């Protein structure tokens, strides 16, 4: 078992202020694979002080110097790529193939996307009225990341902070901290100055709250549940710091009868089940035009039955376990709610798959005849659970799609390009995927309503970490 109790503060691996151990479990075996320390406000104070001191000099570094550091970090990440993939498989339970092809890949893609955006960024420009606009690093940033796509969110926060001249303190999820510790090793090897990047493990109630409330933190960037995002916002309010949030989702996938049903329904089911359903932008509500409804349910049933659960340590297209016992219980409760509220169970259901009594495995589950008022249609399940909802008209589809407190992503399947554009324009979501269009590195990621505020990735992601200053000269005109 790995001993990972130390924190990375001011360029050194240091002992925590107090001993408060937590075991990191492999979700497929339920056995501990590492021990970490849960940090306290004292550890956060120490990390923030280091970041504040480092900001004085790092904020004045040139663009070329920071680009060189990021390029070196990219080279190191590529060299240790397989190590990152294996780490995520062990602590998250993402199957080996998925971890290598998706989970670890985002660490390369987002870093390259930010490097490209930084090269295009204008830090100083002349406004049409003659004034000068300057973009400057906002300061010391507190970063809190989730467990479901761990290095994805770490890269989306740490990289823009470092790229823009900010300094930061990262508190990764205590469920998946090992990939963050590995990333800290890479940052250290790349040669970023001491104090520019700091890492303190801990839970949200103590370390996370201490970071959000800290008077010397200028900005908080948080990804996680809407409930926790509200708490971060409230904790940050007293010091009026900037807060960016990437929160939950209940993304609609609108399937019109003129779509390529076999291809688009298959892709929708598999996308919902990907990462064991633990994705904030997963298309968990499949809205289907009634004339195609029975055909769609039949396709979904077949694909759902073919979906395999398996050992994440093995190669393959199977799905792995959920991350923890807590998450397993939450998903089971919502599956039971779906049954209890009268949705038609098409595939799966409560309990564990046969042969997987150990580990936090769940049955890939599909419900049909779901009403949008049901809990499984309104709450973020965060497991491999799909709800299929019928609609009669385009107007009704749009109304159902927008009838949610979330607004992260939406999906539209149709053979009519004009309809696709028309519907996309009316969906209250930060991202709309048409006929399988993927999210590409460098494009902004974020949502409307209770899915958060701010955008991550590319130029928009850099701008979140920048302040804008206007310089007024007497002869500007």
Indicate which CATH number applies to the domain containing 273.
3.40.309.10
Q: Are strands 31-37 and 252-255 parallel, antiparallel or unpaired?
A: unpaired
- Average pLDDT, whole number, for the chain? 98
Q: What is the pLDDT of residue 62?
A: 96
| Same structural domain, 423 and 464 | no
* Among 264, 269, 287, CA closest to 389: 287
Residues 240 and 264 in one domain: no
Tens-place pLDDT, residues 100-117: 999 999 999 999 999 999
Helix (H) and strand (E) counts in the chain: 16, 23
What pLDDT is stored for residue 3 in this prediction? 98
Do both 63 and 161 map to the same domain?
A: yes
Establish if 444 belongs to a structural domain. no
DSSP 8-state secondary structure symbol assigned to residue 165: T
Q: Is residue 112 part of a domain?
A: yes
pLDDT of the residue at 475? 84
- Indicate if 27 and 119 belong to the same structural domain: yes
Enclosing domain of residue 111: 2-247+451-471
Rounded CA-CA distance 406/177 in Å is 28
Give the C-alpha separation, 220 to 303, whole Å.
41
- Shared domain check, 237 and 116: yes
The reply to whether 186 and 202 lie within a common domain is yes
pLDDT tens digits, 168-219 = 999 999 999 999 999 999 999 999 999 999 999 999 999 999 999 999 999 9
**What pLDDT digit, counting tens, does each position of 377-406 carry?**
999 999 999 999 999 999 999 999 999 999
Give the Cα separation of 89 and 313 in Å (integer): 7
- Is residue 67 within 8 A of residue 53, CB to CB? The reply is no
- 68 membership: H or E segment, kind and range: helix 63-79
446 within domain boundaries: no
Predicted confidence (pLDDT) per residue in 326-354, tens digit: 999 999 999 999 999 999 999 999 999 99
**What is the rounded CA–CA span in Å between residue 2 and residue 34?**
4
Half-sphere exposure of 32 (CA within 13 A, CB side): 11
Please tell me whether residues 134 and 260 are part of one structural domain.
no
pLDDT at residue 466, as a whole number: 98
8-state DSSP, 445: B
Determine what percent of the chain falls in helix, strand and coil, rounding each to the nearest 5: 40, 20, 35
**Are 275 and 94 spatial neighbours (Cβ–Cβ below 8 Å)?**
yes
Evaluate whether residue 89 is within a structural domain.
yes
DSSP code for 193: P
pLDDT, position 467: 98
* pTM exceeds 0.85 for this model: yes
What HEC string does 263-327 produce?
A: HHHHHHHHHHHHHHHCCCCCCCEEEEEHHHHHHHHHHHHHHHHHCCECCCCCCCCCECCCCCHHH
Same domain, 277 and 196: no
- Tell me how far apart the 2 most distant CA atoms of the chain are, in Å: 78
Residue 402: inside a domain, yes or no?
Answer: yes
Contact by Cβ (8 Å): 287, 253: yes
For residue 234, name the pLDDT band (cuts at 50, 70, 90).
very high
Q: What is the pLDDT of residue 99?
A: 98
State how far the alpha carbon of 348 is from the alpha carbons of 308, 322, 351, in Å.
11, 15, 9
Q: Residue 477: its pLDDT value, please? A: 62
E strands of 56-102, at which residues? Answer: none
246 is catalytic: yes
Taking alpha carbons only, the member of 214, 201, 388, 362 closest to residue 290 is 388
Same domain, 462 and 414: no
The reply to whether 241 and 265 lie within a common domain is: no
Count of the separate structural domains present in the chain: 2
User: d(Cα 84, Cα 103) in Å, to the nearest integer?
Assistant: 9
Category of 305 on φ-ψ map: left (φ > 0), alpha (ψ -120 to 50) or beta? alpha
CATH number at residue 156: 3.40.605.10
* Residue in 91, 246, 271, 380 annotated catalytic: 246
Regarding whether 119 and 56 lie in a shared domain, the answer is: yes
pLDDT in tens, 131-164: 999 999 999 999 999 999 999 999 999 999 999 9
Kindly state whether residue 25 falls inside one of the protein's structural domains.
Answer: yes
């Amino acid at each position: 078992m790995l001993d990972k109790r130390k924190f990375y503060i001011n360029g050194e691996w240091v002992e925590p202020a107090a001993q408060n151990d937590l075991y990191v479990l492999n979700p497929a075996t339920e056995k501990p694979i590492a021990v970490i320390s849960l940090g306290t406000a004292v550890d956060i104070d120490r990390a923030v002080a280091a970041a504040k001191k480092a900001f004085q000099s790092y904020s004045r570094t040139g663009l070329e110097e920071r680009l060189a550091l990021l390029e070196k970090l990219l080279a190191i990440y590529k060299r240790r790529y397989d190590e990152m993939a294996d780490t995520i498989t062990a602590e998250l339970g993402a199957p080996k193939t998925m971890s290598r092809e998706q989970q670890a890949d985002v660490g390369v893609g987002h870093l390259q996307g930010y490097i490209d955006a930084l090269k295009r960024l204008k830090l100083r420009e002349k406004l049409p009225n003659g004034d000068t606009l300057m973009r400057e690093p906002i300061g010391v940033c507190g970063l809190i990341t989730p467990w479901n796509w761990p290095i994805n969110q770490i890269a989306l926060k740490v990289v823009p902070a470092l790229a823009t001249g900010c300094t930061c303190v990262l508190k990764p999820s205590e469920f998946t901290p090992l990939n963050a510790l590995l990333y800290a090793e890479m940052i250290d090897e790349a040669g970023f100055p001491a104090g520019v990047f700091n890492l303190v493990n801990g839970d949200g109630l103590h370390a996370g709250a201490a970071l959000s409330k800290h008077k010397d933190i200028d900005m908080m960037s948080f990804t996680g549940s809407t409930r926790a995002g509200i708490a971060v916002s409230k904790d940050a309010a007293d010091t009026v710091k900037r807060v960016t949030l990437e929160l939950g989702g209940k993304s609609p996938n609108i399937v019109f009868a003129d779509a390529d049903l076999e291809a688009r329904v298959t892709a929708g089911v598999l996308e919902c089940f990907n990462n064991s359903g633990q994705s904030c932008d997963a298309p968990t509500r499949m809205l289907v035009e009634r004339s195609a409804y029975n055909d769609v349910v039949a396709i979904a049933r077949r694909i759902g039955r073919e979906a395999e659960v398996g050992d994440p340590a093995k190669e393959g297209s199977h799905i792995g376990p959920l991350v923890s016992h807590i998450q397993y219980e939450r998903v089971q409760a919502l599956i039971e709610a779906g049954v209890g509220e009268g949705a038609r169970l098409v595939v799966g259901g409560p309990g564990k798959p046969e042969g997987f009594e150990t580990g936090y495995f769940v049955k890939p589950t599909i419900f049909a005849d779901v009403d949008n008022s049901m809990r499984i249609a309104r709450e973020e399940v965060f497991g491999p659970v799909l709800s299929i909802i019928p609609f009669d008209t385009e107007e009704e589809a749009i109304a159902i799609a927008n009838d949610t407190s979330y607004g992260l992503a939406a999906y539209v399947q149709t053979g009519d390009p004009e309809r696709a554009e028309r519907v996309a324009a009316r969906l209250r979501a930060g991202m709309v995927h048409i006929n399988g269009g993927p999210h590409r590195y460098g494009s902004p990621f974020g949502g409307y309503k209770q899915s958060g505020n701010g955008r991550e990735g590319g130029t928009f992601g850099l701008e979140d970490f920048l302040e804008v200053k206007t310089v007024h000269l007497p002869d500007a005109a």
